[in-house]
Amino acid sequence: MKPDTLPAPAPAPGTDEAEWIEAQLVASLLRTSSITQLVGLFLVPIFVAVLWDNADPTALLLWTGGSIVLALARFATMRKYTREVMGAGAREHLEFFGRFGQLWPVSAFVWGLAALLFFGRVRLTDQFVCWLLLAGLAMFSVYGQSGHLRTFHRWLDTLSLTCLAVIFWHTGVELRFQGPLYHYAVAVLVVVFWQLLRQTGDRLHHTHRHNFELKYRNNELIESLRRQTQAALDAVGIKNRFLASAAHDLRQPVHALGLYADWLSSEPEMVHQIAPKIVESTKAVNALFDSLFDLVRLDSGKIRLNIEPVDLEQLLRELDLQYRPLAQAKGLDFRVRAAPGRVMSDGILLRRIVGNLISNAIKYTQSGGVLIAARAGRSHGCIEVWDTGPGIDPAHQRDIFREFYKVPGYLGTEDGFGLGLYIVSRLSTILGHPLALASRPGRGTMFRVILEPTDERQAVDRAAAAVRQLVSMP
């Protein structure tokens, strides 16, 4: 495979399109540079052979030495590029070319100075051959350098302007415009040839650039399809995990309901003992379905917001009525401390957040108690839920907010889907209420909901962004 046909590497994630395309154009130029250098070195001895008999020997040797030194410098640069930069990223290519890009116009300047050796100084046949050699080199530069348009322009412009300067010097300064007419014809031909090559190079460059643009966008499309495929596979995995968890968690209360029903049908006189157990099993099933429905509403984005002033004292009184009996049934001390005040939030969703935290605190606390405290400040309020449960090990404190996550070995984790804190985290993010956690294993846990004022429009935007992030999650 030729160096100029090596496939361009796929852009790294997050690479800017313009930067990547520019780097690939630079890489294309650098990959063809060795070939153009070989062509240039091949032409040097031909020039020397043509001009050896009738050119100034000193000038010819100086020009030949300069050409060879410059060629060696470019070969060393290409070796450095191959060894250190070829496999690197876009930025490294651009930085490398920024350091060594001047070699191309300097090379064109040296080749342009070759006109000093032959124009008006040797036989016409030798001049014709030398002009053909320079024209061939310029045409080859269209193939080798048009990938990077700025470099191609600088090389061709430098070569053409140097040749024109030599023509002007010999015709205007040395001959005082008294030379033969063909001198002016050569100048016109140089200008015409210069512009034709420039236009040809521009068209080839647009082809190069268009190819790399297609390459970049194709890779973006492939990456997008890969992410979507992975998201679909992850969704299937989540669904399978959910179904397995749901089947496991629903089996126990539903099985218990069946046993209690059979027991009641065979011993109806024990209705007073069996009925409360049926009620508890029914509550467990309802709680599981409540979590499921919350998750569905969050993931579908069909959650309704009603931002208004929320009375913290009233909110905690309602939660006290709902959860105190559950705490007392477990023999736990249940205390509520609320300072008067209002915060801007969605009352229903805020109640769901705090209710989930209280429910978890009661579920995992086997002795001691649960404290709920609320206060409203000038800028924001907060609600704290304290418990004397087993605490949460630091290794699990990030994971407990993931869906379906259950801390291994904790009493109470066998009941539920592992969705309570996941729902709390999602709802607090939507409402703009930061959630804080402090826990000491064996001593207890404190969750704090910081009630920063909620703006309804921003909350809707956050809810939509959360759904988009869920859908596009790799």
The residue extents of the domains of the chain are 3-228, 300-472
Does the structure show a pLDDT above 60 at 13?
Answer: no
CB atoms within 10 A of CB 435: 17
Does the structure show a pLDDT above 90 at 113?
Answer: yes
pLDDT tens by residue, 204-244: 989 888 888 888 888 888 888 888 888 777 666 656 655 55
The set of residues, in sequence order, having a beta carbon less than 8 Å from that of 446 and lying 6+ positions away, is 384, 385, 386, 387, 437, 438, 439
Q: Averaging pLDDT over each range in 27-41, 245-259, 284-298, 349-363, which range is the top one? A: 349-363
Does the structure show a pLDDT above 50 at 6?
Answer: no
The set of residues, in sequence order, having a beta carbon less than 8 Å from that of 125 and lying 6+ positions away, is none
Q: Which residue has the tokens 């153009």?
A: 36
Q: Which residue has the tokens 């020397």?
A: 48
What is the value of pTM for the model shown? 0.51
| 96 φψ region: left (φ > 0), alpha (ψ -120 to 50), beta (else) | alpha
Superfamily of domain 300-472: Histidine kinase-like ATPase, C-terminal domain (3.30.565.10)
Following DSSP, what letter does each residue of 239-277 receive, concatenated? HHHHHHHHHHHHHHHHHHHHHHHHHHHH-GGGHHHHHHH
The set of residues, in sequence order, having a beta carbon less than 8 Å from that of 410 and lying 6+ positions away, is 364, 390
Percent of the chain with pLDDT over 70: 80
CA 29 to chain centre: 28
pLDDT tens by residue, 132-173: 999 999 998 888 888 888 989 999 999 999 999 999 999 999
Q: What is the mean pLDDT of residues 298-313?
A: 73
What's the half-sphere exposure (Cβ side, CA atoms, 13 Å) at 264? 14
